[in-house]
Amino acid sequence: MSSISTQLDAVRKRIDKACQESGRDPQSVTLLAVSKTFGPTSVIEAVQAGQRAFGENYVQEGQSKILALQQWAAQQSPVPSLQWHCIGPLQSNKSRVVAEHFDWVHSVDRLKIAQRLSEQRPAHLHPLQVCLQVNIDGGAGKSGLAPDEALALALQVQDLPRLALRGLMTIPEPAADLAQALSVHGQTRALFDQINASGKLHRPLDTLSMGMSGDLEAAIAAGTTLVRVGTAIFGGRPPVAG
């Protein structure tokens, strides 16, 4: 087994164990493999180990990897069906690439960018699946909406024709311990429940994108439905490339 497949296995076991401990069905938590800074070869290894959903932060890097993997996948039998999630900060001048190449985007934090993504989503593709990024702990200089702005944006985004509103995403500051991680993830969970309880959405949110290599157990205990894991699968990244 390659080290990527070994590490994927270890992450899946962590997810299963955390689900067991909080009485949740392991099927209720999606594992998103965050492949930023790693090349197509690493992604292929993960696909060969059964992984299908990948997250990318940098739009251009993501685009070239998506195209490389499409070429590779077309030669496989059966052809694996991959899902690509954009989880990095969104700039207006990159929105077209996101709309044309990704299946999901987790980092929508303003109406303007949502409108552009909807306008630019090609008609032959399924609607772009969207999470709103919330700055849950008020970290300075971080992307994301203030929690009390999330419902209003959700109401606007749900009416954009080429987008499908699915949920919320957060990237909290690293927590000092498990209790602190639980507390901040619990706040996001409460916001998620509160938005659904408003009764104002056409369809309830079903995706809570929170938890990474270091805090996925706390996120699962708090009710996350999707964990975004990079380091624990692919190894460390060079600090500068982020």
Ligand X SMILES: *Cc1c(COP(=O)(O)O)cnc(C)c1O
CA 25 to chain centre: 20
Q: Which of 49, 171, 210, 226 binds ligand X (CB under 6 A)?
A: 171
Site residues for ligand X, 198-217, by CB under 6 A, read 212-214
Alpha helical stretches, state H, 49-149: 59-74, 95-101, 111-120
* Residue 113 makes contact with ligand X by CB under 6 A: no
* Residue 14 makes contact with ligand X by CB under 6 A: no
* Residue 229 makes contact with ligand X by CB under 6 A: yes
Ramachandran class of 194: left when φ > 0, alpha when ψ lies in -120 to 50, beta otherwise: alpha
Rounded to 5°, angle at Cα 32 from 144 and 55 = 60
Q: How far is the CB of 202 from ligand X (least distance, A)?
A: 27
Q: Distance between CA 223 and CA 220 in Å, rounded?
A: 5
Q: Distance between CA 87 and CA 184 in Å, rounded?
A: 20
Site residues for ligand X, 30-59, by CB under 6 A, read 34, 36, 57
Q: How far is the CB of 241 from ligand X (least distance, A)?
A: 11
Nearer to ligand X, 99 or 212 (CB): 212
Nearer to ligand X, 88 or 223 (CB): 88
* Residue 7 makes contact with ligand X by CB under 6 A: no
User: Is 208 in contact with 228 (CB distance < 8 Å)?
Assistant: no
Nearer to ligand X, 40 or 155 (CB): 40
Q: Which of 87, 157, 205, 222 binds ligand X (CB under 6 A)?
A: 87
Q: Which of 62, 144, 147, 230 binds ligand X (CB under 6 A)?
A: 230
Helix 150-157, helix 111-120: angle, nearest 10: 20
User: Is 112 in contact with 150 (CB distance < 8 Å)?
Assistant: no
Of the ranges 40-48, 95-103, 192-200, 222-230, which one interacts with ligand X (CB under 6 A)? 222-230
Kindly write out the interface string for residues 115-154 of this chain, putting x where it contacts ligand X by CB under 6 A and - elsewhere: ----------------------------------------
* Residue 231 makes contact with ligand X by CB under 6 A: yes
CA 23 to chain centre: 23
User: Is 160 in contact with 167 (CB distance < 8 Å)?
Assistant: no
* Residue 105 makes contact with ligand X by CB under 6 A: no
Structure tokens at 95: 């929105």
Q: How far is the CB of 236 from ligand X (least distance, A)?
A: 8
Q: Which backbone phi and psi does 176 adopt, to 5 degrees? A: -70, -35
Where on the chain is the footprint of ligand X (CB under 6 A)? 34, 36, 57, 87, 171, 212-214, 228-232
